[in-house]
Amino acid sequence: MVTNELTTSRTTPLQAARARGRVRGRLILLGPAFVAAVAYVDPGNFATNSAAGARYGYLLVWVVVVANLMAMLVQTLTAKLGLATGRSLPELCRERLPRPVNRMMWVQAELVAMATDLAEVIGGAVALYLLFGIPLLPGGLIIGTAAFAVLALRSRGYRAFEVAIAVLLGVIVLAFAANLLASGSDPGSAMAGLVPRLQGTDSVLLAAGILGATVMPHVIYVHSALTRDRIPAADDAERRILFRGQRADVLLALSAAGAVNLAMLLIAAASFRGGGPGGADSLEGVHAGLGQTIGTAAAFGFAVALLVSGLASTSVGTYAGEVIMQGFLRRRIPLLLRRLVTLLPALGVLAIGLDPTRALVLSQVILSFGIPFALIPVVAFTRRRDLMGNLVNHPLTTAAASLVAVLVVALNAFLLWQVVTG
């Protein structure tokens, strides 16, 4: 009897999870990357990928694929950081960096969170207008309020929140899968688009936009916090098992997000290339064009996917704000107050009547400022054995991640320069 009690008392959380059965034991390891993946199919991606397909057909298929591979590497390192250290990226920055630097990083991270909410609330508001004719300002209020319902699931544990976001991501995948099948996209041309090539200065700029938007700063903060909070590892062996689960999580979730981004481009290439009806210079134009070329059902599916994307991504963005403040400052504020603060810029933009697509572009410019502050510390921390233990980066991993960091930062600097110089 004593032996049994001792054995039970020594059962680790991972062992308890795996005792649920082979399938359930593996499924319990999945989830954080699906939350992160929502950032890669937010309303900003809808506009960028649709524009790429409409203007250049299948030419930039390879850019979407490369961008997704880069995202997989970055999110794998981010997941590993939280798992190995038991702390989120903002917490590590607070512990390891001088106080003035930490405060500066907190300020820029908060601005990033607001810019993120700006794009997502506007995208959701546009979707409500397309579906139900609701004006943009009331639509923004509805999206901001509805996000509370998703965030409230966190009070029931991390699993409920992760499953809800994964379900919303699944709706987006299904909507674009149906539209892709109906679009009559050319598989041969799509395969030819895997060959790296460009066509003029404008295609270079658009390719830079797709690659530069690969890394979303707020989702790096969130992903590191989600892996930190899940299943504690008892030893190095369990930590490696958990990391294998996180790698599978990233592969599955980012593959789904990459498929959606690719579908966006392929649908636009089939529907708008060659001067088709509608246009891809705005979300409303894409919606109208799909209705004329594919049918009402396709336009409806696009609007539903846009609505779900705005709702899911703004929920994740609000959670990111909480992670940022708790990590950098070790402080918390009521969720309602935080939601109001991050929602105000988006509502202000909608109230003054600024073009929604233009506002999306401006939000991406602000996000570009935050990328170095999130990406560079991840690469620097994950190469340190004193922090990472047996999960420290292999030198080749660090080299690849450093190359990605340099490329993404350079591309965003280039895009910022292009915007400033007109």
Closest among 381, 373, 395, 286 to 83, alpha carbons compared: 381
Confidence of residue 4 (pLDDT cuts 50, 70, 90): very low
Q: How far apart are the C-alpha atoms of 160 and 127, rounded to whole Å?
A: 25
**How far is 232 from 83, CA to CA, in rounded Å?**
8
Structurally, the chain folds into a number of domains equal to 1
More confident residue, 85 or 156: 85
Please report whether residue 393 resides in a domain.
yes
Q: What CA–CA distance (Å, rounded) separates 163 from 367?
A: 27
Give, in degrees to the nearest 5, the angle at Cα 145 between 140 and 146.
100
Q: Return the closest-CA partner of residue 183 out of 294, 96, 258, 89.
A: 294
**pLDDT-based confidence at 2, cuts 50/70/90?**
very low
CATH number, position 353: 1.20.1740.10
Average pLDDT over residues 39-62: 89
What average pLDDT does this structure show over 144-170?
Answer: 87
Condensed to tens digits (0 to 9), the pLDDT of residues 81-133 reads 999 999 999 999 999 999 999 999 999 998 888 888 888 899 999 999 999 99
- Residue 7's pLDDT is 40
CA atoms within 13 A on the CB side of 148: 12
DSSP state of 1: -
pLDDT score of 24: 73
What mean pLDDT do residues 47-63 have? 90
CA separation (Å) from 121 to 91, 183, 332? 28, 28, 23
Residue 8 counted as domain residue: no
- Evaluate if residue 5 carries a pLDDT over 60: no
| Segment 271-320, tens digit of pLDDT | 887 555 556 778 898 999 999 999 999 999 999 999 999 999 999 988 89
- Band of the pLDDT at 341, cuts 50, 70, 90? confident
Look at residue 10 and tell me if it is in a domain.
no
Does residue 224 sit within a domain?
yes
* 282 vs 262, higher pLDDT: 262
Predicted local confidence at residue 46, as pLDDT: 87
Domain membership of residue 35 (yes or no) is yes
Task: Using the predicted structure, report yes or no on whether residue 28 has a pLDDT greater than 50.
Answer: yes
Does residue 353 fall inside a structural domain? yes
> Average per-residue pLDDT in the chain?
87
Quick: pLDDT tens for 313-328. Answer: 999 988 898 899 999 9
Structure tokens at 143: 């999206």
pLDDT at 151: 82
Q: Does the residue 3 lie in any domain?
A: no
Residue 15 falls within a domain, yes or no?
Answer: no
**Domain span holding position 94:** 22-421
**What was the pLDDT predicted at 311?**
93
Give the range among 33-42, 203-212, 215-224 with minimum mean pLDDT: 203-212
Among 7-11, 72-76, 388-392, the range scoring the smallest mean pLDDT is: 7-11
